Amino acid sequence: MNKPTECDTSISVALLTGGGDLHYAFGLTCALVSQGATVELIGSDDFESSEVQSKPGVTLFNLRGSMKPDASFIAKLWRVLKYYGKLIWYAATSRPRVFHILWNNKFEAFDRTILMLYYRLLGKKLALTAHNVNTARRDGCDSWWNRLTLKCQYRICNQLFVHTERMKGELVDEFGVRSDRVTIIPYGLNDAVPITSLTSEDAKEHLQIQKDERTILFFGRIAPAKGLDSLLSALFQLRKSGRKHRLIIAGRPDRCEEYWQSLRTQIAAFDSDEILVRANFIPDEEIEIYFKAADVLVLPYRHIYQSGVLFLGQSFGLPVLASDVGSLKEEIVEGETGFIFAPENPSNLASCIEDYFNSDLYDNLSLRRTLIQKHAQEKHSWTTVGAITMTVYSSLVHHIAKPLAQTKAPAGSRKADISL
């Protein structure tokens, strides 16, 4: 573990990741240290291999440990309970005055209520990035208890970050959060995924796709809310009219076995050379191949707030066809960076796919890729995210109240590998 270097700043922050989402945590951490902050990054084994921990001003606290899904139930329960114990001890002995929560942990109701009040009792100023204002509603499993615990977390926080005006409006209107406690920040581009000199032609050849095949990419978590069934239905409509396309499905089914089985039935109606399926976790070093082999990324979502996959596609200069849900429309310039279609409407999606492959955007794809990359980098720069975030931290620190309870750290407690 590396020790933090001295930094000419009064801002010290703990980033609580829940052990996951290395990509977003990587970008934000780098942005903050470039602005002069010192960062204590609360992560898992996944963070150990990341170059983020070697950056000056960063200390990695691997409290979460292994997150491998193939462990037994007892093993998973034990490691989660150990993590909570380490997290509680860390909070009591930590130096940072600002705790910035990027994601909650396993027991969300506990995180949203008791753990938040505990942090406040220790005198911490709390910031929270609400990537999704209400994930349960998005996934069709909302409840009064979910909304109550969300409201508790949102009201206990000193400051909230969201990525769109619509998300801010939902926090204010549905959860009673004061408008001045919500800050809109861009969704920073994924800087952790390697982008090499690999060409689109090389990527297609690697996947055994012909150079002239019109190739569509669906990437990311496979779940009902992501609408892959609508995309398959749209492609089947085009297929019946004699217009074939090549589809790449790259992503892991997410606890939706019945839905995945129905998708496999749809896929079986196509010829084996029409759909390439990679239904598993895609390592960072392989992501580039899929985005460069594709001619367009399709997001047929039923419900979403904002999509990291959209920005990942734009970072590779890939045009995006997206359903008109959440704030996706705000991120696409029609005819320049992609097109919008009606959600849950395979016929409209089929028309959108045809329009794209008949457009100047597709005809001049090599040139447009460069322009899309430039557009994304200007609009979703981590430099901008870091500057806005540091301004919020500064306002929190300079108005910080005395803690209601003060726990004195025992000697030798500053080791980064806290163990219980």
Q: What are the boundaries of each domain within the chain?
A: 12-188+381-398, 200-378
For residues 380 and 88, which has the higher predicted lDDT (pLDDT)?
Answer: 88
DSSP H/E element including 218: strand 215-219
Q: What is the pLDDT of residues 217-250, one digit of tens each?
A: 999 989 898 999 999 999 999 988 878 899 999 9
The answer to whether 407 and 92 have CB atoms below 8 angstroms apart is yes
Q: Residue 144's closest CA among 109, 117, 119, 110?
A: 109
Dihedral angle over CA of 253, 258, 263, 264, nearest 10: 90
Rounded to an integer, the average pLDDT of 311-330 is 91
- DSSP-derived letter for residue 52 is G
Question: What does the alpha-carbon distance between residue 184 and residue 159 come to, in Å, rounded to a whole number?
Answer: 11
DSSP result, 89-107: HHHHH---SEEEESS--SS
200-378 in CATH: which number?
3.40.50.2000
Question: What does the alpha-carbon distance between residue 133 and residue 143 come to, in Å, rounded to a whole number?
Answer: 14
| Bridge partners, 38 (sequence order) | 12
DSSP H/E element including 362: helix 360-363
The answer to whether 233 and 348 have CB atoms below 8 angstroms apart is no
DSSP H/E element including 196: none
Q: Residue 83's closest CA among 42, 48, 34?
A: 42
> What percent of the chain stands above pLDDT 70?
92
- The yes-or-no answer to whether 12-188+381-398 and 200-378 have a common fold is yes
Question: What does the alpha-carbon distance between residue 285 and residue 275 come to, in Å, rounded to a whole number?
Answer: 22
- Listed in sequence order, the residues at least 6 apart from 105 whose beta carbon sits closer than 8 Å to its beta carbon are 18, 19, 80, 83, 84, 87, 111
The answer to whether 420 and 63 have CB atoms below 8 angstroms apart is no
The answer to whether 288 and 318 have CB atoms below 8 angstroms apart is no
The answer to whether 246 and 216 have CB atoms below 8 angstroms apart is yes
The answer to whether 243 and 318 have CB atoms below 8 angstroms apart is no
Residue 415: its pLDDT value, please?
38
Q: Which residues of 229-265 are buried (b: 16+ CB within 10 A; e: fewer)?
A: bbbbbbbebbbeeeeebbbbbbbbbeebeebbeebee
Question: What does the alpha-carbon distance between residue 389 and residue 396 come to, in Å, rounded to a whole number?
Answer: 11
Strongest mean pLDDT among 117-126, 139-148, 282-291, 324-333: 117-126
Rounded to an integer, the average pLDDT of 7-15 is 74
Is the pLDDT score of 300 beyond 90? yes
Distance set, CA 135 to CA 80, 225, 362, 417 (Å): 21, 10, 34, 32
- Listed in sequence order, the residues at least 6 apart from 41 whose beta carbon sits closer than 8 Å to its beta carbon are 14, 15, 17, 25, 29, 47, 52, 53, 58, 59, 60, 61
Residue 138: its pLDDT value, please?
75
Q: Given the DSSP bridges, would you call strands 246-250 and 98-101 parallel, antiparallel or unpaired?
A: unpaired
Residue 353: its pLDDT value, please?
97
Is the pLDDT score of 85 beyond 70? yes
Check: pTM over 0.75? Answer yes or no: yes
12-188+381-398: which CATH topology?
A: Rossmann fold (3.40.50)
Considering the chain, what is the average pLDDT of its residues? 87
Is the pLDDT score of 50 beyond 70? no
Is the pLDDT score of 410 beyond 50? no
Is the pLDDT score of 412 beyond 60? no
Whole-angstrom Cα Rg for the chain: 22
Q: Other C-beta atoms within 10 Å of 222: how many?
A: 19
Q: Coil, strand, or helix at residue 242? A: coil
Question: What does the alpha-carbon distance between residue 362 and residue 335 come to, in Å, rounded to a whole number?
Answer: 10
Which residue type sits at 327?
A: S
The answer to whether 216 and 238 have CB atoms below 8 angstroms apart is no
DSSP result, 294-353: -SEEEE--SS-S--HHHHHHHHTT--EEEES-TTGGGG--BTTTEEEE-TT-HHHHHHHH
